[in-house]
Amino acid sequence: MTQSSAIMRPVVSKKFCSTSHKVFTVRKRPCTINGGGFVVMDSHQGNEVFRVDGCGPAVKDHALLKDSKGNHILSLKRKVGILQVFSLGEQWKGFVPDEMEGLMKPLFKASSSSPINCFANNSVKVSLIESNNSGKGWEFEILGSFSERACTIYDKSQAIVAEVSMNKTRKDSIQSKDVYSVEVQAGFDQAFVFGLIAVLRNLSGEDGN
């Protein structure tokens, strides 16, 4: 598929979709900075694109995805309640600000049936709340091991949305899970992808320590 013929598949917004695939570098931040989280850099230009605040043990049930200017894009919240206490899995929801209503509008939910850090190939299912397929099952699936920085996000047709891997831009032999690469394919929503990355960090226990 050529760049000009790439189909835009917005989830958060069309402005976060690109006509070409993009490679990003993700860097973990210390917990002392806004509760931890991570910064997303354009691997080619080196500029900040997104950041996630609100991770870490003090705020482990929610996180915020922002753009490079600090504008709020997504709120991510873990479902809590008595049933969740006795459940092996977890569910997270993503919300977008609704400027017209002044409220937070639910956008998607991501569910894991068992602790993601217990199984290398555990599946996380993602459903869009207000889509035509809402209530009919999942629309995205995450397979692989995020803890090992080797996982892939697929859509319902099994097309690759994004891939997480060890950092591809480092010229030395030092590899760290605190610095890794995320490649987002043409047409897919980058803000949505990094909202899911924030959820994966929490599901894997990396932001609860």
**Predicted confidence (pLDDT) per residue in 47-90, tens digit:** 999 999 875 555 568 899 999 999 999 999 998 754 444 445 78
Q: Do the domain assignments include residue 190?
A: yes
pLDDT digits (tens, 9 = 90+) for 135-159: 557 899 999 999 899 999 999 999 9
Q: Residue 46 has which token pair? A: 């080196």
- Split into its structural domains, the chain has a count of 1
Quote the domain boundaries for residue 142: 18-166+176-203
Q: Do the domain assignments include residue 107?
A: yes
Q: Do the domain assignments include residue 4?
A: no
pLDDT digits (tens, 9 = 90+) for 88-114: 578 999 999 876 666 889 999 999 876
Q: Do the domain assignments include residue 7?
A: no
Q: Do the domain assignments include residue 171?
A: no
Q: How many CB atoms lie within 10 A of CB 67?
A: 16
**DSSP secondary structure, 39-77, as one string:** EEEETTT--EEEEEES-SGGGTTEEEEEETT--EEEEEE
pLDDT digits (tens, 9 = 90+) for 183-197: 999 999 999 999 999
Q: Do the domain assignments include residue 6?
A: no
Q: Do the domain assignments include residue 79?
A: yes
Q: Cα separation of 192 and 106, whole Å?
A: 13
Q: Do the domain assignments include residue 159?
A: yes
Which residues, other chains included, contact 206 with Cβ-Cβ below 8 Å and sequence gap of 6+?
147
CATH number, position 56: 2.40.160.200
